[in-house]
Structure 1
């Protein structure tokens, strides 16, 4: 492992096995808390002194020379957590409830994007504010990420109790990057979007993907995955469909379960080498009014005209079967009364909804993990956030999503969210409001202790207290290695959905064929033996890569400027549609449509010989499928509507309900 510019680091020279020991009981433990035999763990590297007891080594995390129960790896995670919680100050309990954004140097956006952490700022936050969980939006290579992560853990070992830091990330193994929904890939293996896994419908493949992503995440120092989305894409215009498994509850349930089992290493909950899965967004997020997203003030409402809220809970049953470590509530608030199993939800954002979090999630479903809020739910939404900027470019300054609590103070929002059931606050790095709430008698300190317990228990179960550092050289070898990339490429091919194949055009051998290309790398086509020409008229076949149409209806809002909203139909003037029309000059046309939402293809299928839907695929994957090296096996994870009018008439919370879909859910041809 390579470290640069850090203190002297001691390595524990320890053997892998030791004799069985008869252990005494700590006051906070029990006979059931103790491991009957003790095998010395390999600590790897540490800056901490080691304590020797009975021939075994332990980290002196609080540097007092005594072996405390929380330092004793022979005890159960529960016993160690309870001891550590008993040692926390009020400020430290509040700090554990912050899930901050890891600051980076030269950050001009406030979003935490960059290639190096601001270690001075992190030192202050870790040591003075006791924050030990952060999202990373770094985009450096895996080795750099791993080295930077190790430097953070060195800072953590300098804190009063040496609580290790947990690093979370939005998805990194897919194609589409939208700030706030996904992260730069940093060389991670490139798989189809989750819609592609739903199209393949093979839970074992999704589980395998999760296991590979788990290995890549842990190698780079990422221990928490802010995924998967269990949301249902029942509103076809919704801007967040790309991260879902489609609109069907049963298919999504199976995919969510497999995804989590891959990331967490099975269905037994958090364990050593798990990446904690944060399943989101509890609940009903996919039924957004007009498809607008609740990152935006204008899109804050979810709507249930079909009285179908219960349907949107079913995918989470897969998460609970896999024992997901964490749940993230949705930003959205219902636009009318919702009652489920006799529980009437509050008409506020989900993070403030005690019936939804405590009554339904903790009560009916028995969830005992960490509930982490989505980002900035306690922040103010200023005038630009409410109305959009009148001039200039929207920014993250003044952004907040306190839906249903807009007129409340920040303190009141923190109190209401904690009372509702929130354990951690996404995007927050100021624990002062929680400290103030306890000091003013608005919250009992014991409630903060409950959340601190849940957060720390997962760190112990992941083995972070024993082995927080990662091997930098191993990160470079693991992340995006050739085997992982090959499996990812195969998934890209399999996920494609063959919608149309007139005259059995596909598969199509090169045989010197002349091709006209649109949005495709000519070098890739030439590698497969095709001759690239300049016009459709000179070609034997035109091959195009296009995307589902969208509109930018709210360009003066931070997320509205980035998200795909509005119409799904190809219209004159749309660059992709103009290329499709231009391709009519060729005898045959192949159109591959990237679908982050369900495209309306009514006026495309008469202009194409073959149509393929993809959910994230490289040019190589596409040409493998075109030439028969790979075969499209996907089935549509959502129906494709036939018209805008039918999209507007469907019910936002009901699946498969456009009147005359052009292609139904589950459709897909084969070679």
Structure 2
């Protein structure tokens, strides 16, 4: 995307526009006259708990329960006009509440982060009606109809709030294979696609847009209207645990994929509309260049580093997001390890959510972004002793966890003020607006600054039609989520995304009727394809192994360090998958299918096996479709595979394709003859 200066794209200030709106509608009430709103056919609201008003022969929801049609209740008016009118009616508490992106509390939740099968209605009523919070992440795990029914209950509570502001529900990705708390959600019936790395391996932007469109339909069916994705981060550091959610290490390829993904989720490139799921592109910016590959969810991994001054390269994928008019941007936790200057803008050495040059000067200024900036989770929370130093002998938990990097010694109030001043509109993982209220009362933030954030959040709710038809058909959700056509397309993508790395003697595709020894594979699937499963490699014609990229748990006493894949990418003696690969070598021929959430080092695997397939999320059925030729591996590596950990240690975190002797280069992929 060609950059444009802020003066060419930035709208008039909100305070000016709000004043115009208030003057235009002051005293209107129900006496709107036919000149203030276009003639229209009656909107079908579907279900609502609100009373209806009749004006000009048309029905409207009485959202604020005053018996008078207010401009924000008038569905004939534009989202812009309605949002400005509603902002003028908000109390300070309500404005601050809109700036919270909380976690929807669940019944019987043992984690403290909203996991369960049903929402806690009492806790939610307090958050919505007293705190003014109207945006929540859901971490419920239930079938589609149950999720949809629970969502409808939330909207009933929201309709009874003072102004009837509907709830927005967000989610981490739900359509893939890997489930890591805090990064993704279990699929649980949603169509199951390869990870974004797999979509990048296929390299078909049209398919990625189709994926986004299908996921959009599934999300909307259960009431999820905001996607905390895609990751526009670049996988330039091979050891980094978050690689599986990226589109690889090449900036231009990732740019095309990011744009297509967002166009699918938001249904087009014209911005948010009534069919959209808001896409939240993340993590602005440079998150993939993590120092030594450690992740900035952790105190020990808080630094991103740019030894080759290649930070501008990491901005390129976001240009695809801006071209698609992405609805929201999430800043990274990371703080730069050293000075970074881009286009004359010098970044501050704090986490991105606190960095005004990064958010205001670069994101809103140079790139003209005018959507919502939502922080990553818990950037205003304290990082206590356990968070900084590990939990010792105790099992790591979420109590005392925060990611306020660069602002560790500040108070919570100071962090909120610094982030809002930097440009943040919403705070992920926060549901207590009292700090924002306190900041305004103490003169640390202005009411007009809160107006800007409240407007951006409300505008998107109006654009999505949530004020007029917030409910979903819970009885129909299961007929949409994971339906056969969607899953069929997902399965085909699983097959196509596989990368054939080695195929000695053209073993693949493989004839049926053979005796096979299996590791990590459901024997019943092999039998369905006409194979006889045997108990030893020596008794087999072919040994088939499913393995994963090796990892180490280098920080088991840290909350996220205990869950994330860190350290070495090499297969070594004692690794269970490598031991299985060595066993498979005892068979006349062998196939190894390796799931790559990070780029595996295959130097000592390559000579031991006949064929190697890389996958980025694939079922046993997809694998056997490819093994037998029912499907073909069409993927090309979206990242290079290093030949040694010494080469990994020597490469630069911010550069792509820069290990000295890659065993398989970026873009490598064989095909069947």
Give the TM-score taking structure 1 as reference length. 0.95
Task: Report how far residue 584 of structure 1 moved.
Answer: 1.2
Shift of 1:26: 3.3
Whole-angstrom distance in 2 between the partners of 1:156 and 1:31: 30
The correspondence for 2:399, drawn from 397, 400, 406, is: 397
Structure 1 match to 2:10: none
Contact 1:33 1:76 in 2 (8 A): no
State how far apart, in whole Å, the 2-side matches of 1:366 and 1:642 are: 42
Match of 2:137 in 1: 135
**2-side partners of 1:34 and 1:170: how far apart?**
41
1:444 aligns with 2:446: yes
Q: Equivalent residue for 2:152?
A: 150
- 1:495 and 1:84 mapped to 2: Cα distance? 47
* Of 81, 95, 98, the match for 2:97: 95
Residues of 2 paired with 1:244 and 1:42: CA distance? 40
CA deviation digits over 1:174-197, x for unaligned, max 9?
A: 000000100121210000000000
The offset of 1:550, in angstroms, is: 0.3
The equivalences for 1:5-404 within 5 A come to 26-27=25-26, 36-404=38-406
Q: Which residue of 2 aligns with 1:544?
A: 545
Q: Distance in 2 between matches of 1:609 and 1:450?
A: 61
- Counterpart in the other structure of 1:649: 650
**Residue 162 of structure 1: how far off its partner (Å):** 0.3
Residue 10 of structure 1 is matched in structure 2 by none
SS in 2 for 1:210: helix
SS of the residue corresponding to residue 146 of structure 1 reads: helix
Number of paired residues?
647
CA distance in 2, matches of 1:35, 1:478: 36
Structure 2: distance between partners of 1:483 and 1:534 = 37
Structure 1 position 60, deviation (Å): 0.3
Write the distance in 2 (CA, Å) between the matches of 1:186 and 1:584: 36
SS in 1 for 2:169: strand
Residue 11 of structure 2 corresponds to: none
RMSD of aligned C-alpha atoms? 1.4
CA contact (8 A) 2:38 2:77 kept: no
Q: Show structure 1 runs of 5+ residues with no match.
A: 1-23
Question: In structure 2, how many angstroms separate the alpha carbons of the residues matched to 1:319 and 1:437?
Answer: 33
How far apart, in 1, do the equivalents of 2:413 and 2:80 lie?
Answer: 31
SS in 1 for 2:403: coil
Give secondary structure in 2 for the equivalent of 1:517. strand
Q: How far off its partner does 1:391 sit? A: 1.3
Deviation at 1:106, TM superposition (A): 1.1
Deviations 1:58-89 (A, max 9, x none): 00000111000000001110100000000000
Q: CA deviation at 1:31?
A: 12
User: d(CA) in 2 for partners of 1:392 and 1:366?
Assistant: 47
CA deviation string 1:142-198 (max 9, x = no partner): 111000000000000010000000000000000000001001212100000000000
1:478 equivalent in alignment to 2:480: yes
CA distance in 1 between partners of 2:96 and 2:585 (Å): 63
Determine the C-alpha separation between the residues in 2 that align with 1:35 and 1:190: 45
Shift of 1:27: 4.7
> SS where residue 25 of structure 2 aligns?
coil
How far the C-alpha of 1:424 sits from its partner, in A, is 0.1
Q: CA deviation at 1:585?
A: 1.2
Q: CA deviation at 1:39?
A: 2.5
Taking the aligned partners of 1:361 and 1:41, their CA distance within structure 2 comes to: 37
Contact 1:241 1:596 in 2 (8 A): yes
Q: TM-score, normalised by structure 2?
A: 0.95
1:520 Cα shift? 0.1
* Change in 2 beyond 3 A, CA 1:508/1:415: same
Are residues 588 and 34 of structure 1, via their aligned partners in 2, closer, same or farther at CA, if it must alter by over 3 Å?
A: farther
